[in-house]
């Protein structure tokens, strides 16, 4: 008399295309540094910089957008963004020699958030352990001295070099220090 039909359940999977941007090393960089922005894998990329690659390099502050596209059976477009902040580097300090009294002198790097003093020994720059303040008191070796300073954001600058600070006339700039 009548017909009946039984069917198997039908499963439908809907894939959603998501765009993500991962920033390396951080969303905050110092002037002169680079942040790498990586989009998740996709078939096509379009950044607001007009780049069409999976990764771009940012050196200026701003908001960076990427639109990713996957063609095919589950096609779609998605957009994501990252905000990059660029902090200024501090002005490189000029070390000032300060005569205190006979046998006592200081090197003054000026006002910054953090300091690390170095001296030149055996053709290389050597960290002076514990010398992390604005002043290097009574430098005791006749050699070059330099200081790396940083601001509160962690951006750094390298000072001029001074030679054998035993008198104001002996200050000599070298500027061959590398971080």
Q: Which residues contact 42 (CB under 8 A, 6 or more apart)?
A: 17, 19, 54, 68, 69, 70
**Please, are residues 77 and 144 in contact by the beta-carbon 8 Å criterion?**
no
CA distance 18 to 35: 22
Q: Name residue 137's beta-bridge partners.
A: 106
pLDDT of residue 7: 57
CA angle centred on 93, ends 87 and 96, rounded to 5°: 160
pLDDT of residue 9: 66
CB-CB neighbours of 71 under 10 Å: 11
- Give the predicted TM-score (pTM) of the model: 0.69
CA distance 176 to 172: 12
CA separation, residue 133 to residues 82, 96, 148 (Å): 36, 14, 11
pLDDT of residue 8: 64
Q: Would you state the structure tokens that stand for residue 142, as one six-digit string?
A: 């006749």
pLDDT of residue 177: 40
Per-residue pLDDT of the chain (179 residues; tens, 9 = 90+): 556 656 566 555 555 677 888 888 889 999 999 999 999 888 889 999 999 999 999 999 999 999 888 876 566 778 888 999 999 999 999 988 887 777 777 889 999 999 999 998 889 999 999 999 999 987 767 789 999 999 999 999 999 988 865 543 333 333 334 43
CA distance 160 to 172: 8
């Amino acid at each position: 008399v009548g017909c009946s039909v039984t069917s198997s359940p039908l499963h439908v999977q809907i894939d959603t295309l998501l765009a993500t941007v991962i920033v390396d090393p951080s969303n905050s960089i110092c002037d002169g540094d680079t942040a790498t922005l990586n989009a998740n894998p996709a078939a096509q990329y379009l950044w607001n910089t007009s780049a069409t690659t999976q990764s771009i390099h940012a050196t200026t502050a701003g908001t960076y957008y990427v639109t990713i596209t996957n063609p095919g059976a589950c096609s779609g477009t998605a957009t994501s963004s990252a905000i990059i902040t660029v902090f200024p580097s501090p002005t490189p300090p000029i070390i000032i020699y300060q005569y205190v009294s006979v046998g006592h002198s200081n090197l003054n790097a000026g006002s910054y958030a953090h300091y690390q003093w170095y001296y030149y020994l055996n053709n290389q720059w050597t960290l002076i352990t514990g010398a992390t303040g604005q002043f290097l008191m009574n430098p005791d070796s006749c050699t070059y001295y330099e200081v790396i300073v940083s601001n509160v954001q962690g951006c750094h600058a390298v000072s001029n070099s001074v030679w054998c600070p035993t008198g104001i006339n002996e200050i000599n700039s070298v500027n061959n220090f590398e971080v």
